[in-house]
Amino acid sequence: MNNGVFESKITKLSASKNRAYPSIRLPKSYADIIGNKAQIYPTSYDGKQAFLVVVDNESLNSEFENPLENRIKNLESQIEELRNLVSKKESNKTNNSEINGPAAIRTQDPRHVKAMS
């Protein structure tokens, strides 16, 4: 790959027995445009048949989202939930440790409290 130029073989994509479409693969580095709409203009380059592909970045189709990206988003949200749970438990411990003496006992009637030695 020199200066963003790459080679790809044009393959046949068969939709049915009677229909075949030419297909060109792009490098993996362009996976983020999967699902976008594109306009394809026939043209020529150095006297040869060529195609100009113009990708519409605003038309990203959500059904073609990158599965790795979805997994990362899910993990990040789960980590955030865990952080919230841990911080709630820590704040409860702090609140509970501030209460000492008879106030920390469910019943404040000393007749129902066992003495500790």
Owning domain of residue 40: 11-61
Which residues make Cβ contacts (< 8 Å) with residue 113, sequence separation at least 6? 102, 105, 107
Is 114 part of a structural domain of the chain?
Answer: no
Is 28 part of a structural domain of the chain?
Answer: yes
Selected residue with higher pLDDT from 61 and 77: 77
Domain count, the chain: 2
- Taking the CA atoms of the chain, what radius of gyration do you get in angstroms? 32
Copy the structure tokens of residue 32. 């983020």
Half-sphere exposure of residue 23: CA atoms within 13 angstroms, side-chain side? 9
Q: Which residue has the tokens 């200066």?
A: 3
Instruction: Yes or no: say if 25 and 11 are a contact pair by the CB < 8 Å rule.
Output: yes
Give the mean pLDDT of the chain: 79
Q: Looking at the structure, tell me whether residues 39 and 72 fall in a common domain.
A: no
Is 39 part of a structural domain of the chain?
Answer: yes
Q: Give 67-105 pLDDT, tens digit per residue.
A: 788 888 889 999 999 999 888 877 776 665 556 665 666
